[in-house]
Every structure is written in structure tokens, then in C-alpha cells.
């Protein structure tokens, strides 16, 4: 590891030397959308003379350093008119440019796995970028445009079914995805138990999913990074967008505060099924509630060409209330303050401060004499300075640091029974995760480039807290606390440090094809522990501690990327991945995860592995666009005490498939422009059934039929396959009224979800018949297959913009 570090430093100093030796100058600046002033992320800056260039970063900034000469600078972004500019580079030049969107809607590119010209420069692999315009076209459940549901149409991304929170990437668990909303971690991405995601599409600018080759500036989760960037708000004119749908309505207002200098966006969503149902449902009249809402806001101020600040926030909540006093609610809140500062033409920096909170609360009891109140939260404060040094046209250096302070409150709970209160709270936990990173993206020859970096992360847990030593038991048995120790405030309880090397390379085999590979090590200090069939809002986040080690994951990927067609309108990619995880936290059979002070005694750790092949074929232009994605994969765990041979006294675990293992995963998305006003979209999903555990036998004890699995196996059968077709039609509103162009634009979306009403199984459960049986009489046992969505679901929504 130290050698790697030395090598890195040596290379960097070499780059420095070469940069200083010639008389070189820098072209830098921002690229924005001319209609609304939004920064364009990943726009290409191409210098014809050197057949190379750069792409804009998350803030739309680029910088290229070249020897003094005259260059043709070509600035482009898919869906926008390209600008060519001749530049005499005899001094450092700042170019801030605004690109005009192309008029024709028919030329839209659907998903950019890679930009056409960025092929030359772009080192990234295993990433998918979804345009919000594409997301808006994908047929959606109840007609509600949804970012996470749309991601599930991409290769390597899956879900265990309708009603499950979150998503799975390359066989990783829901808790192994880092979801960032404007740099703030989001701990639960779902509304309404997973039917909708928390992101308001009207306020989102850019969605990028990293499934592998994760840059060293990110860390903290093993399997993926979902980077969601919010719109900055129109800095040219006031714009109002919104929609009225089946389940909820949305409205977003964006406007300049100072034209071209400062702007804001405020977006709101609220479900209204409870309002509509109130006249008919007595529960709702009595103070019951069933709703969710979210508010997204962002403002930015362009202080001067070198400084820009952004303030963004999100607040979302789900409320399920039984009556006035009883119910269940959960939500995320985030706030991000960012300051972009350009030290000089080549040194770009961003300083981020983040607050993020996820909490849920439950309340039962109709009166003060008998009640139960419980809330749980995870909150964190993050500071993150990041620097990009554009050394020359062949090297881009990224370095920075991150500090995250976590505050866990597993349970603040008080129960009152017949007037006697009992505090059953669990002590809070305090943790600090600090990291340093450095990476360089280097073009070694025009055809070979490499990105290498290193991240070092350090995790501490602090007192005050009571820590426990647990008894030694056979793996899989509950371990009991045998010794407790109280740690004072500020005392360091556990420390873990890890180096996380990241490498990726690209070989340009031919002008239209490339081979890319990557290796990355990821470390995860927080563990999402779920023992339910599907992930849900009550799942417990637990930090690493004396008894729980951090998870380590190593992923290797190799891929082949090919553009096909005279205008490169088709794209084909094949990627293989292999990941091996250590210290994956699992739970013993019958573990008790909620409000359990001795939770760690119910947890065990083991190994995980997942591997697979992703294929992706996309048609990017024309009246018919779309893609076909197929993933062949496997995801497994091996934990002592689970899935062991019943005759093995040591209970050594055997590999078993994870709950979200899917052998085959096929998705087809197609978009067809029928005429200027009508368009048609369809998606089809076919996946292998996910594993489930079935009993072999039954035992009758005290007149109750208890299922028994004689082979002690987990995931011993697969549920039936899942497949579903969704379609939607979109009708654009008239562009003209009384012969004049309308100022407003609007469209209708008519959708059908699950067109052929397949009853896709979510789970199969085993139970005895509900009938009462006299003692000693035979009892019937049965299996029931549950489809969460077992019918065709029609929807209609109206969307507007003015």
C-alpha cells in the first residue's frame, strides 16, 4: 500500500514538472444551458488539434491546459447545439458559454451511458446517467414519474418487488448503496413503503449511478453510489412546472433572484388520497392520516466569476395515522451548503457542509394512562473540501477530505402501562468517519488512459456508551451479554482505519470501441440490518463498534464498449463484474432487531460475493429510441451458523443466495414518437424469481402447526419468475392557440401498469388454516402466494409548465 502511495506521489511530481517546463496556458470556464442558466454536467470540450479535451464537472466547470497556439474549441452536450470557437491561446482564457437546446424533440438521446465524443476522454465505466427527460417518458406506476423505479430498468439494478424500499445494485443489499442528494446522504429513498421514491423529478437535474469504478472522492458503501443533483433554478426567467396525478400533485417554482447571478427553485409534492377518501372513511375523519409530502428547495448565488454558493434542502415525510394519537411516520431532512471557489484557472475547489437526518416515530395508545411512544433517528454533519487541479491536458488531479459526524439514536422510547411509565430507551451512539483522498486521471497515450487513486478512511466510535462483551456460543445462537463496561463521554471505544485503492483504465481499441477495467475497494462503516422479507422504513442502521467490524468490498470489472452505425446511433456494451465482501453483517434466526440493547448479540458476520455479466444495447436517435438490458448474475452469502449442514457440530456456513439474487434480469424500454403530439412508451421486465425459504415439514406443538426446514437451508427455492409490461401514451398540448404560439406548454400522460395483469409473486407464505380446530383434530396447512400488484393499474396525469 505504501508503495502505491509513493508511486502516486512520484507520478504527480513528474506531472508537475512537465507542466511547468513549457509555456502553457489554460482555457477554463463554465458551460450552461442558455434557456435557464443551469450548469451542464458532463458537457464535452473538445480540442480538434490535439483530438482530446475534457468534460465539465458536477458544477459545469472545465479547465484544459495546452501549449500556446491557436485552437478550435468545440463545446457540445447531447440535445444541445454545438458551439465551435477559435481561440488564440497566448494567455489564460476564461470561456463561460451557454448552449442552446436543439429544437427537434425527435433527436433526443435517451440514456447516456457514454457521450459520443466523450468516448475519447471518458474513463468512467459501470456508470449510468439518466436524463430527467428520459425518466419522464418511462411508464410509471400510477403515472408518477419516479427516479428510482426508472433506474431499475438499467443493467445490474434490481428490486425484490413492488413495495420494497430501495434498490439493489449488482447483487448488493439496499443498505450498500450510497444515495446522495446534492452531496447529502439519504438514508431511506422511499415514500409509501417503497412505491415511490423521495426525489421530486421536477427539482432534479441529473442522476448518475456508479455501479463500479467508484471515484476515490466517494466512499462509505460497498455496492453503488447514486448521485442525484438538484436543479439550480432558472436564472433567466420565472418558470412554474407541475402536475396533477392519481396519487399526488406536484408544483415547482423557479426564478431568478438577480438575473444570471442568483436563482432559486422550490418544489412541493403531496399525496392526496386521504383527502379524497375522507368523506368515505370514518378513520380519516377521526384524525387518521395516510399521506406523504416533500419539499425541495435550492438557491444559488454567483458572487463573481471565481465564487459561487449553493444552498439546498430537502424535507420529506410519510404519515400513517390510526387516529389522532396513534400512528407511524418517517422522513428524511437534508441541507447542503456549497461554495465553489476557483483559486486559479487550473485549481477548482468546492467546500461542502451537509446536515442530514432520517428518523421514524411510532405512537400507540388512546390515552395517557396507556401509551407507547418511540422514535429513532440517524443524523449526521459533514464537512467536505474537494479540489480539482487540472495539471495539463493529460492529467487531472483530484484531492480532498471528508469528515462525517454521526449521531445514532436507536430508540427513544417510553411506555406507560396502566399509569406507570417505563423508559425503555437505548443509549445514543456517536461516531466520526474521516477520510482523505487523492486521485489522478492520466492519459498515458492517446489510446490508453488510467485513473488511479487512494482513499484512507478512519472510523471512531465514542462514549458515552455502555459496551458489552458477549458470551461465546455456537454460531447462529443468541449471544448473551456477560460483561458491561461504561465508557465516558469522548472516550474512544473502537477505531478502524482502511486504505481504499481505486484504479480504472481505458484502452481505445478502435475509434469506435474501447476496453475498460477497474478495481476498487470500498469500506462501509454503517450497516443496514433487516430481517424482513423486504427492506422497510424501520430497518435499523447500526454503526461499526467493538463487536461489529466494518464491511470491506473489493470489486473488479472489465467491459467492452462499442459504438455502431454511421452516426454512432447505436451503442453496445458488455461488462463483467466480480465482487467479494468481508464482514457482511447478518442476523441469527429469530433475531430481535427493534429496541434491543443487546442487538449485537443477535448479529453475525460472514462473507459475500456477487458476480455477473451485464449487456446493454441502446438506440440513441431516431423516432424509435430505447434500450435492451440483460444481466446474468449471482449474489451469495456465507455465514457460519446460517445455512449449515445439520450434522456439522461447528455449523460452518455454506454459500446461499441472497434475498435479491436474480439469475436473469432482462429489461426493454422503447420510446416511439408517433407524431408531433403523440408519443408512446413501453417497458418490459423479466427477472428470475428471487430466493425464498420453504419448509420441508411441519411439527405440531400445542395444537399449532410449526413449519420446519430439516435441511437448515436459507433460500432453498426460487419464487416464480417476475414479468411485467407497462405502456404509456403522452399527448402534448397544442403549441398554438388561435393561431398564436402559446406561452405555456402542457401534456397528458395515460398509462397502464402491468398491462396483462400478471400476479407477480412478492412472497409465498406458509400458514395453518384460519379455522378453529378442536384439540387432537387434524389441522390443514397451506401456502399462499401474494402479489402486491396483481391487477392492471391505469393512470392519468396532467403536467404543465409556464
Partner 1 sequence: MKNLIYIILFVSSALSLFSCETKINPELESAVPVLVVDAWLTNKPGNQTIILTKTQPYFDSSTPPPVTGATVTVTDNSNKVFAFVEDLAKPGYYVWTPVGNELIGVVGTSYKLSIQTAGETYSAESRMGPTTAVDSITFKKNEPTQQNPDFYRGQFFAKDVLGKGDTYWIRTYKNGALLNKPNDINVAYDAGFDSGGSFFSRMGKSRDGLRDSAILVDFIPPIRGRINPSDKDANDKVLSPYLPGDSVYVEIHSITTPAFNYLQEVSIQTNRPGGFSELFARPIANVSTNMVNSNPNGKKALGFFNVAAVSGKGQKFIQK
Using CB under 8 A, which residues numbered 446 to 505 contact partner 1? 478
If binding is defined by CB under 8 A, does position 762 make contact with partner 1?
A: yes
Write out the three cell numbers for 22.
513549457
If binding is defined by CB under 8 A, does position 695 make contact with partner 1?
A: yes
Q: Is the peptide bond before 464 cis (omega within 30 degrees of 0)?
A: yes
Q: Please give, one letter per residue, the 3-state secondary structure of 572-616.
A: EEEEEEEEEEEEEEEECCCCCCCCCCCHHHHEEEEEEEEEEEEEE
- Indicate the residue among 592 and 732 with the shorter CB distance to partner 1: 592
Applying CB under 8 A, the span of 61-69, 526-534, 541-549, 573-581 interacting with partner 1 comes to 526-534
CA–CA distance, 236 with 256 (Å, rounded to integer): 6
Q: Cβ of 788: how many Cβ atoms within 10 Å?
A: 17
If binding is defined by CB under 8 A, does position 785 make contact with partner 1?
A: yes
If binding is defined by CB under 8 A, does position 354 make contact with partner 1?
A: no
Task: Compose the 152-191 pattern: x for residues touching partner 1 by CB under 8 A, - for all others.
Answer: -----------xx---------------------------
Out of 328, 360, 405, 496, the residue judged to bind partner 1 by CB under 8 A: 328
If binding is defined by CB under 8 A, does position 273 make contact with partner 1?
A: yes
599, exposed or middle or buried, with CB in 10 Å at 0-12, 13-18, 19+? buried
Q: Which one, of 198, 195, 199, 197, lies nearest residue 161 by Cα?
A: 195
Which DSSP string do the residues of 163-229 spell out, in sequence order? T--S-EETT--GGGEEEEETTEE-S--EEGGGTEES--GGGEEEEEEE-SS--TT--S-SSEEEEEE
What is the enclosing helix (H) or strand (E) of 273? Answer: helix 273-277
If binding is defined by CB under 8 A, does position 277 make contact with partner 1?
A: yes
Least distance CB 757 / partner 1 (angstroms):
10
Applying CB under 8 A, the span of 360-368, 503-511, 557-565, 567-575 interacting with partner 1 comes to 360-368
Task: Compose the 52-91 pattern: x for residues touching partner 1 by CB under 8 A, - for all others.
Answer: ----------------------------------------
Write out the three cell numbers for 313.
434542502
Write out the three cell numbers for 1.
500500500
If binding is defined by CB under 8 A, does position 793 make contact with partner 1?
A: yes
If binding is defined by CB under 8 A, does position 710 make contact with partner 1?
A: yes
Task: Compose the 20-59 pattern: x for residues touching partner 1 by CB under 8 A, - for all others.
Answer: ----------------------------------------
If binding is defined by CB under 8 A, does position 783 make contact with partner 1?
A: yes
Q: Are strands 93-94 and 83-89 parallel, antiparallel or unpaired?
A: unpaired
If binding is defined by CB under 8 A, does position 538 make contact with partner 1?
A: yes
Q: Cβ of 303: how many Cβ atoms within 10 Å?
A: 13
Least distance CB 580 / partner 1 (angstroms):
24
If binding is defined by CB under 8 A, does position 303 make contact with partner 1?
A: no
Applying CB under 8 A, the span of 500-508, 566-574, 678-686, 691-699 interacting with partner 1 comes to 691-699
Out of 205, 236, 455, 659, the residue judged to bind partner 1 by CB under 8 A: 659
If binding is defined by CB under 8 A, does position 613 make contact with partner 1?
A: no
Among positions 388-407, residues that touch partner 1 (CB under 8 A) are: none
Among positions 186-205, residues that touch partner 1 (CB under 8 A) are: 192-195
If binding is defined by CB under 8 A, does position 756 make contact with partner 1?
A: no
Residues in contact with partner 1, counted by CB under 8 A, come to a total of 101
Q: Are strands 204-210 and 224-230 parallel, antiparallel or unpaired?
A: antiparallel
Write out the three cell numbers for 684.
418490459
Least distance CB 140 / partner 1 (angstroms):
14
If binding is defined by CB under 8 A, does position 763 make contact with partner 1?
A: yes
CA 729 to the chain's CA centroid: 28
Least distance CB 164 / partner 1 (angstroms):
7
Alpha helices for 293-351 (secondary structure H): none
If binding is defined by CB under 8 A, does position 536 make contact with partner 1?
A: yes
Write out the three cell numbers for 647.
450434522
Applying CB under 8 A, the span of 61-69, 330-338, 501-509, 593-601 interacting with partner 1 comes to 593-601
3-state SS, residue 13: helix
Out of 272, 580, 630, 694, the residue judged to bind partner 1 by CB under 8 A: 694
If binding is defined by CB under 8 A, does position 148 make contact with partner 1?
A: no
Q: Cβ of 707: how many Cβ atoms within 10 Å?
A: 17
Report how far apart, in Å, the C-alpha atoms of 185 and of each of 182, 523, 635, 695 are.
Answer: 8, 16, 25, 39
CA–CA distance, 94 with 261 (Å, rounded to integer): 17
Out of 270, 428, 568, 597, the residue judged to bind partner 1 by CB under 8 A: 597
If binding is defined by CB under 8 A, does position 721 make contact with partner 1?
A: no
Amino acid at each position: 500500500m505504501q508503495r502505491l502511495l509513493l508511486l502516486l506521489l512520484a507520478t504527480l511530481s513528474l506531472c508537475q514538472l512537465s507542466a511547468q517546463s513549457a509555456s502553457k496556458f489554460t482555457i477554463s470556464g463554465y458551460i450552461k444551458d442558455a434557456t435557464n442558466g443551469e450548469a451542464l454536467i458532463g458537457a464535452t470540450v473538445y480540442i480538434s488539434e490535439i483530438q482530446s479535451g475534457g468534460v465539465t464537472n458536477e458544477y459545469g466547470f472545465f479547465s484544459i491546459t495546452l501549449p500556446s497556439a491557436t485552437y478550435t474549441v468545440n463545446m457540445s452536450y447531447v440535445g444541445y447545439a454545438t458551439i465551435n470557437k477559435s481561440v488564440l491561446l497566448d494567455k489564460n482564457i476564461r470561456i463561460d458559454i451557454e448552449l442552446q437546446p436543439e429544437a427537434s424533440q425527435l433527436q433526443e438521446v435517451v440514456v447516456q451511458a457514454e457521450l459520443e465524443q466523450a468516448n475519447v476522454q471518458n474513463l468512467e465505466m459501470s456508470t449510468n446517467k439518466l436524463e430527467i427527460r428520459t425518466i419522464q417518458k418511462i411508464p410509471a406506476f400510477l403515472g408518477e414519474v419516479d427516479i428510482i423505479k426508472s433506474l431499475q430498468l438499467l443493467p445490474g439494478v434490481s428490486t425484490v418487488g413492488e413495495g420494497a424500499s430501495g434498490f439493489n445494485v449488482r447483487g448488493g443489499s439496499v443498505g450498500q448503496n450510497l444515495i446522495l442528494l446534492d452531496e447529502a446522504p439519504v438514508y431511506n429513498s422511499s415514500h409509501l413503503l417503497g412505491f415511490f421514491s423521495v426525489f421530486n423529478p421536477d427539482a432534479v437535474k441529473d442522476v448518475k449511478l456508479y455501479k463500479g469504478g467508484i471515484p476515490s472522492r466517494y466512499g462509505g458503501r460497498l455496492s453503488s453510489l447514486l448521485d442525484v443533483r438538484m436543479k439550480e433554478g432558472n436564472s433567466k426567467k420565472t418558470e412554474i412546472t407541475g402536475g396533477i396525478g392519481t396519487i399526488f400533485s406536484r408544483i415547482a417554482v423557479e426564478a431568478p433572484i438577480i438575473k444570471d447571478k442568483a436563482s432559486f427553485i422550490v418544489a412541493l409534492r403531496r399525496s392526496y388520497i386521504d383527502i379524497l377518501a375522507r368523506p368515505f372513511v370514518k378513520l380519516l375523519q377521526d384524525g387518521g392520516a395516510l399521506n406523504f409530502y416533500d419539499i425541495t428547495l435550492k438557491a444559488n448565488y454567483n458572487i463573481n466569476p471565481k465564487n459561487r454558493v449553493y444552498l439546498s434542502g430537502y424535507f420529506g415525510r410519510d404519515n400513517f395515522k390510526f387516529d389522532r394519537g396513534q400512528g407511524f411516520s418517517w422522513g428524511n431532512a437534508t441541507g447542503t451548503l456549497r461554495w465553489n471557489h476557483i483559486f486559479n484557472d487550473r485549481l477548482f475547489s468546492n467546500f461542502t457542509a451537509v446536515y442530514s437526518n432520517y428518523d421514524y416515530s411510532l405512537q400507540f395508545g388512546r390515552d395517557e394512562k396507556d401509551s407507547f411512544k418511540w422514535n429513532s433517528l440517524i443524523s449526521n454533519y459533514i464537512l467536505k473540501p474537494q479540489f480539482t487541479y487540472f495539471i495539463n491536458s493529460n492529467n487531472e488531479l483530484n484531492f480532498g477530505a471528508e469528515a462525517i459526524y454521526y449521531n445514532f439514536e436507536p430508540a427513544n422510547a417510553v411506555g406507560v402501562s396502566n399509569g406507570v411509565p417505563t423508559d425503555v430507551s437505548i443509549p445514543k451512539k456517536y461516531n466520526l468517519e474521516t477520510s482523505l483522498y487523492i486521485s489522478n486521471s492520466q492519459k498515458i497515450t492517446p489510446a490508453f488512459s488510467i485513473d488511479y487513486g487512494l482513499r484512507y478512511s478512519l472510523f471512531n466510535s465514542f462514549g458515552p456508551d455502555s459496551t458489552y462483551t458477549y458470551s461465546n456460543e455456537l454460531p447462529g445462537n443468541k449471544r448473551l451479554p456477560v460483561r458491561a463496561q461504561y465508557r465516558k463521554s469522548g472516550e474512544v471505544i473502537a477505531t478502524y482505519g482502511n486504505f481504499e485503492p481505486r484504479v480504472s483504465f481505458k484502452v481505445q481499441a478502435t475509434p469506435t470501441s474501447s476496453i475498460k477495467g477497474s478495481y476498487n475497494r470500498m469500506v462501509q462503516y454503517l450497516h443496514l440490518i433487516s430481517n424482513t422479507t423486504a427492506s422497510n422504513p424501520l430497518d435499523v442502521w447500526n454503526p461499526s463498534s467493538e463487536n461489529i467490524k466494518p464491511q470491506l468490498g473489493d470489486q473488479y470489472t472489465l467491459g467492452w464498449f462499442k459504438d455502431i452505425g454511421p452516426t454512432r446511433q447505436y451503442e453496445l456494451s458488455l461488462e463483467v463484474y466480480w465482487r467479494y465482501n468481508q464482514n457482511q453483517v447478518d442476523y441469527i434466526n429469530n433475531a430481535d432487531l427493534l429496541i434491543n440493547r443487546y442487538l449485537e448479540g443477535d448479529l453475525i458476520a460472514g462473507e459475500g460475493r456477487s458476480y455477473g455479466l451485464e449487456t446493454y444495447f441502446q438506440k440513441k436517435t431516431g423516432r424509435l429510441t430505447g434500450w435492451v438490458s440483460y444481466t446474468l448474475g449471482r449474489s451469495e452469502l456465507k455465514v457460519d451458523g446460517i445455512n449449515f449442514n445439520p450434522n456439522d457440530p461447528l455449523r460452518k456456513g455454506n454459500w446461499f443466495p441472497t434475498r435479491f439474487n436474480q439469475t436473469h434480469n432482462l429489461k426493454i424500454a422503447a420510446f416511439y414518437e408517433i407524431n408531433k403530439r403523440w408519443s408512446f412508451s413501453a417497458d418490459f421486465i423479466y427477472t428470475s424469481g428471487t430466493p425464498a425459504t420453504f419448509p420441508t415439514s411441519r411439527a405440531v406443538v400445542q395444537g399449532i402447526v410449526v413449519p420446519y426446514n430439516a435441511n437448515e437451508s436459507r433460500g432453498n427455492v426460487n419464487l416464480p419468475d417476475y414479468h411485467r409490461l407497462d405502456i404509456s401514451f403522452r399527448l402534448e398540448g397544442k403549441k398554438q392557440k388561435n393561431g398564436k404560439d402559446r406561452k405555456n406548454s402542457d401534456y397528458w400522460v395515460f398509462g397502464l401498469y402491468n398491462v396483462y395483469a400478471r400476479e407477480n409473486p412478492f412472497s409465498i407464505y406458509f400458514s395453518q388454516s384460519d379455522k378453529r380446530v378442536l384439540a387432537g383434530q387434524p389441522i390443514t396447512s397451506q401456502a399462499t402466494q401474494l402479489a402486491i400488484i396483481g391487477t392492471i393499474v391505469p393512470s392519468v396525469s396532467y403536467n404543465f409548465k409556464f
